[in-house]
């Protein structure tokens, strides 16, 4: 393989990794910000009683519920635009698996958020070099959506 062909492959992978890192993080961040506004406006009211453990992590769980909706819709739109309809279910299952795992990890008093951020950084730094199967790509997108949503809700929650 010539040097020019190798450069083209690396440029293509760079574009793909940009899409797989930026798009989910931005969608997740916007969803997290909107979720916090909905919580502050009492549109998404806390279903748990005050001064309970579940009440203290309601913001994170609300962001994950909201990003599950917007995230799966954006993942579907992305794969349909890429004309990979035959792999859509596997892609969505990867994202859904990560969202379910993130819901459990975020219940660890915020400590799980740091684990998710760390895993997302590692995945974004290493997986961008490879052509990933749809499940792993969905898992990566799910990580970006979750980290973006939790960052967005945290940023808006800290402003008060």
Which pLDDT score, from 0 to 100, does residue 55 have? 73
- The pTM for the full model equals 0.86
Residue 89: the pLDDT is 92
Backbone angles phi, psi at 63, to 5 degrees: -65, -40
Q: Mean pLDDT by 10-residue block, N- to C-terminus, for the chain (160 residues)?
A: 75 75 93 91 82 78 92 91 88 92 79 85 82 89 92 80
């Amino acid at each position: 393989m010539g040097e020019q062909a190798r450069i083209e492959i690396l440029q293509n992978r760079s574009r793909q990794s940009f899409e797989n890192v930026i798009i989910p993080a931005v969608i997740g961040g916007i969803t997290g910000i909107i979720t916090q506004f909905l919580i502050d406006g009492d549109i998404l009211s806390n279903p748990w009683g005050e001064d309970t453990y579940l009440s203290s992590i309601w913001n994170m769980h609300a962001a994950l519920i909201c990003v599950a909706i917007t995230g799966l819709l954006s993942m579907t739109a992305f794969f349909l635009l890429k004309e990979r309809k035959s792999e859509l279910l596997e892609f969505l299952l990867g994202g859904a698996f990560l969202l379910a795992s993130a819901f459990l990890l975020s219940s660890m008093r915020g400590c799980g958020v740091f684990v998710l951020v760390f895993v997302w950084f590692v995945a974004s730094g290493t997986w961008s070099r490879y052509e990933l199967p749809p499940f792993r790509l969905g898992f990566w997108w799910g990580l970006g959506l979750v980290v973006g949503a939790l960052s967005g809700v945290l940023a808006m929650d800290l402003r008060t």
